[in-house]
Amino acid sequence: MMESTTLCIHEYLSTYTRRCIDRVILLFSLNNQLDVVINGKHESVGSNLIVINHSDLYQITNAEQLVELIIPVQQFAEIDQSFFHCYYNFKLINSSEYIKYLTLTMIEQLSRLNDTKSSNIIEIITILNKEAKIKQDFIYVPSIQSESNLLNKITVFIKAHVTQPIFSKDISNSFYISAPYISILFKKYLGISFKHYIASLKIAASLAELVHSKETIHAISENMGFNHYPNYTHQFKNHLNMTPNEYRKKFMVLQRIPVKLINEDVSNYIPYFESISVEKPLPSNQVNIELDQLTYKDIAKTPTLFIHIDDLMDIVQSTLNTNLNFADLSESYLMINNVSKLALEKLNFTGLIDFIDSLFSNNVGIAIRVKSSHQFKFIQDIILQYLKYKNEHHYQQSNSNFIMLFDAEHLSLKEINRLYIKVKNLNIRIKLAITVEGVIKQTHSLKRAFDILHRFNFDFYFIDIEQKEVQSLLNKKSNMFNHSMSYFDYYNQLIDASQIHTSKFVYTKLTKKCFKLYKENTPLETADLMCHILIMLNRGSGVGYELMSKDNMDIALMNRHGICEPLIYLYQIVKPFIGKPLSIHENYIVFKDFQYIHILLFNSLKHRFSPQEVHKFVLRPHALPTKAMLFIQTLNREHGFIDYALPPLLNETYIERTLLRHIEQANTPKAEIKQFIRTANPLEFELHYDELKYIRISPF
């Protein structure tokens, strides 16, 4: 068992995969270089503070100037008896800079005085408990989020049977795979053997019963599925360097646990100690919005949305047609990726023309991916016949139109050049786009690819940055890219290097993989969605979503039952802010016009609320109208998050249409109207965890 809390600064560090047992580890990099794998998921952490929980599987793949704080489990359990039934979600930590400050302060004191306040450790634990603790009804066993779906399913099986004997034959029988293949999966995706994974998990899970019960060691070994008591003792000693009985005795002794600094010399890091000056967070969860002191200098740009569908006939021939109302969204296009099926169908051409016209009337355009000259001819004929049946002048004046996306993965640059000229010679308004990754593949250097893209001057440049082969291609073509970068890092670096305006770039298809702090098998939180929306409003670039969710990682406008996802409501809520001068802050946005005050309150990635917190937003009365009507919309798990009302697990289950209608009607943001009469008291709004509020203040 660990005798002390330890602090260390590693100039460089990489480790093999290991199980975190009997400790909680806090990590952060002084120069923002930290890449880790936690429970199978790769994290390019940068400047974030990371928490490795007791029982977590972790590997530090690359780290520079890494600060490591290791706190024994005993210190957590003394403060909170339910420790083993909890874990810390580091993405909820609001006071990360203050924790860094406390940590570096301890290092500085230890290097100078060889002593430090142990109260700093207590304060760090208190902050973690307040801001990041997630309680469970059962002992914490981490969920694995590797790149192998099969391995993830196997670890779910192991998690469900962790207290039982588990052998490779049990996995083989349940998943119809061989024992050698099981070993390959664990080694390839987790970096440890199957046996090590099982044994270390069982030892970690056994600590709770060992310290909180009076069961015999023999009984505990049986409760954790060890067939032989000596095997449990051997594995325990192997992981913790003491027997279970020795561990239990030491854990029961309350003692002051010292803090030790591993480094002998930290003089190289003195500038970091001097530069960090962070005030202690205020105990109040209150934000004051001083309306009369705000400056409105941030302009919200209009993003372009590309809504992916397999082919147009899926919509033309389905009931979804009646639900497709994108009038409240940003500039939108239906993105048809598979035109070959459309070309083979015997179409009701009148119905198709009317459908296209209805889309254009609702300011929704059509983007069609072109993979061959034959497909180009077919699409061109559709457009020309549409113009023949509809007033051409009306089409030229309309706000929505056609986009042809030339897929350079299938079309040669020579073919694209020929088709590009052909479209321009038609002398009708058709926007043109190209897949950037295809151009890069066909050229010997990035510079040559960018020269070609500039010469064409397309309306949009699509890049499918989440495809691993695209990242590998960029890594190969230029040293400005590397595997430790996030998807957005790749995307932003490519835009900067190309010198093409950001509004012309399109992130081909956004998925949950893009979000660094996303936890698998859970809906995206409002903080994640708002972070994405704010990036879109800042850049005004393009992004692709699925129309209907097909995979757990998809970000879609609708679920598989055709019911709206929260993303639609978010775009509807932010619509009043688009194109307007805003005052953007960490947890709120304000826009004022001649009539109304528009306010958006939200969780942000930098300042998330913990599940236990309620934040209060206060508007001083002197800046408000004497009398006003308040229109309030609230988006949260009870109002507008379909995955909580209708879990994705039921996507493949038949549900009666009448029941779905009830769910659909209930799945909207909460709307309410209140009267406000100014008094000496301020106007206050409460915002809970994973919640967003839109307020419109109308004087009367």
pLDDT in tens, 534-551: 989 988 999 999 998 888
* Span 64-83, pLDDT tens digits: 999 999 999 999 998 888 99
Percent of the chain with pLDDT over 70: 90
Q: What is the pLDDT of residue 399?
A: 42
**Residues 288, 619: Cα–Cα separation, whole Å:** 6
By the 10 Å C-beta count (0-12 exposed, 13-18 middle, 19+ buried), 317 is classed as: middle
pTM exceeding 0.85: no
* Span 85-94, pLDDT tens digits: 999 998 888 7
Distances (CA, A) of 405 to 90, 197, 339, 374, 417: 41, 47, 12, 14, 13
* Span 651-678, pLDDT tens digits: 778 888 899 888 888 899 999 999 999 9
**Residues 62, 45: Cα–Cα separation, whole Å:** 10
Q: Which of 71-75, 276-280, 366-370, 392-396 is predicted with the least confidence, judged by mean pLDDT?
A: 392-396
Phi-psi region of 38 (alpha: psi -120 to 50; beta: other; left: phi over 0): beta
Strands 298-299 and 581-584: antiparallel
Amino acid sitting at position 199: A
Q: Does the pLDDT value for residue 245 go beyond 90?
A: yes
Across 35-49, average pLDDT:
90
**Residues 692, 637: Cα–Cα separation, whole Å:** 10
Across 34-40, average pLDDT:
94
**Residues 622, 601: Cα–Cα separation, whole Å:** 20
In order of their start, the domains of the chain are 5-139+256-275 (no CATH), 149-252 (1.10.10.60), 286-298+597-699 (2.60.40.1500)
Q: What is the pLDDT of residue 13?
A: 96
Q: In what order do the strands lie in the sheet with 670-677?
A: 298-299, 581-584, 588-592, 597-602, 692-699, 627-635, 670-677
CB 491 within 8 A of CB 532: no
Q: What is the pLDDT of residue 467?
A: 92
Q: Does the pLDDT value for residue 150 go beyond 90?
A: yes
- Written as six digits, the tokens of 451 are 């020269």
Q: Does the pLDDT value for residue 588 go beyond 50?
A: yes
Q: What is the pLDDT of residue 393?
A: 44
**Residues 698, 683: Cα–Cα separation, whole Å:** 14
Q: What is the pLDDT of residue 158?
A: 96
**Confidence category of residue 267, pLDDT binned at 50, 70, 90:** confident
Q: Does the pLDDT value for residue 321 go beyond 60?
A: no
**Confidence category of residue 449, pLDDT binned at 50, 70, 90:** very high
**Confidence category of residue 605, pLDDT binned at 50, 70, 90:** low
Chain Cα centroid distance, residue 293: 33
**Residues 59, 57: Cα–Cα separation, whole Å:** 7
* Span 410-437, pLDDT tens digits: 999 999 999 999 998 888 888 999 999 9
CB 406 within 8 A of CB 432: yes
Name, in order, each residue with C-beta under 8 angstroms of 104's C-beta and a sequence gap of 6 or more.
Answer: 67, 272, 273, 276
Q: Which of 166-175, 236-245, 318-327, 496-505 is predicted with the least confidence, judged by mean pLDDT?
A: 318-327
Q: Does the pLDDT value for residue 376 go beyond 70?
A: yes
- Which among 13, 117, 101 is positioned nearest to 49, based on CA atoms? 101
CB 220 within 8 A of CB 206: yes
Query: Of 77 and 347, which is predicted with more confidence?
Result: 77
b/e sequence 494-520, b meaning 16+ C-beta within 10 Å: bbebbebebebbbbbbbbbebbbbbbb
* Span 163-204, pLDDT tens digits: 999 999 999 999 999 999 999 999 999 999 999 999 999 999
Q: Does the pLDDT value for residue 680 go beyond 90?
A: no
DSSP type of residue 169? H
**Confidence category of residue 276, pLDDT binned at 50, 70, 90:** low
Strand partners, 530: none
Residue showing tokens 């070609």: 452
Query: Of 282 and 576, which is predicted with more confidence?
Result: 576
